[in-house]
Structure formats: structure tokens, C-alpha cells
Amino acid sequence: MILAAGHGKRLRPITDEMPKALVEVRGRSLVERHLDAVRSAGVDTVVINLGRLGEMIAERVGSGSRYGLSVVYSDEGDDILETGGGILRALPMLGDEPFLVVNADIYTDMPMPTQHLGDDVMAHLVLVPKPPYKANGDFDLVDKKVRNSANPELTFGGVAVYRSEFFAACSPGRFPLAPMLWAAADEGRLSGTVYTGLWEDVGTVERLEGLNRG
């Protein structure tokens, strides 16, 4: 699943006229870069959730055939459901097996994870070193398990593999994913890896311009 429903408010005025998933870095849109990456990881079906201006994504990507994929859409309209609610709504399209989720607004060359989830693990997160513009990290990694700490040095990289059971107690509607991840980290139910290569949260116009200058 590619999470592409966000409004991209920090990327205005660019996102006044296009969804952030179609913002281009070095001549190619973020969503198309992710489609190439997941296909390389052996994925054949992708769900993209849509929000404001989402029809532009559907028009660009279409059925996904030109990317060697089958793409289906979970349209949330203007009432976007946040990360957790968006994934929950798409679960019927994602099936019962563990599935990969990628935030549309990251730029990276990381290989998409294909980790087998252990019996005691609900999700596998790819973490990255805390970027300098963030005051605090999100997690630490201890013995390959994602953990909470007082001064975390790692940031969730927006790429993860989840079990559908992780969302079993959730109710439909708008809710964030972060509290669920913090709780699972406390319980030792998240595995993780650290990626130290190219990764950027394309969250502001300044970061986008910096990437395109580079």
C-alpha cells in the first residue's frame, strides 16, 4: 500500500494544484518512484489511498500496467482517515498475508523490505537516523526489536510490513498509527532494521528544492 491521501499542507503552494504524491524529484514523481521500488521487491498488486486531488494520481497511474503492477484505489475523498484509518479501510483489498506500506512523501533508494515476520511480531519497521531538522527521534533498535526510549536516536522511515491482525481491534474512522506503534514497541512486538542510505522526508518546499538542486 502507498499512503498518498495527505493534503501536503507544508508543501504549499505546490500542493494547491497537485497531490504531494505527484511532486517530482529529479524529474520523476514520488509515487512512480515507489511503484518501481515495490515492483523490484516482487510486489504485484498495490493499493493507493487517495484524498484531495486524488483523481490526478489515478489518472497518472491508471491500472498500473505500465509499471508492471495491478493498482487499485481506496478513495477517502476530502475526509481523509489519517494513517491508521486509511490502512484499516484498505484491509479488504490487502488480504490476510503481511503487507508492505510506504509513505508517498519520502524520497529514498532503499530496497523495500521483504522480511518474514516472526510469530511474536506484528510489524517490521525500517528506521533511519534522526534527521537534523527533527528535535527528537521516534524509536531505538535493541536486539533487532523496535523500542521506545527517553531519547530515541532513530526515526521511522515511513516503510513497514504489517500483519492484518495488527488492526484487528481498530474501529473504522480517522485515527493515527503512531500510538499503535508505541504500544507495540512497549510490548516488544515490532522488529526493525536501520537504513543509513539515501532517505528524505519531502515534507517542505525547502527540502524539495534541496533535493532537486542535488
23-52 confidence digits (pLDDT tens):
999 999 999 999 999 999 999 999 999 998
Contact 129, 175 (CB under 8 A): no
Low-confidence spans in the chain with pLDDT less than 70:
214
Q: What is the CATH number of the domain that holds 182?
A: 3.90.550.10
Residue 89: per-residue pLDDT: 97
Residue 15: per-residue pLDDT: 82
Residue 22: per-residue pLDDT: 96
The pTM of this model reads: 0.95
Domain that holds residue 160: 2-213
Residue 54: per-residue pLDDT: 94
Contact 21, 32 (CB under 8 A): no
User: Number of folded domains in the chain?
Assistant: 1
Residue 161: per-residue pLDDT: 97
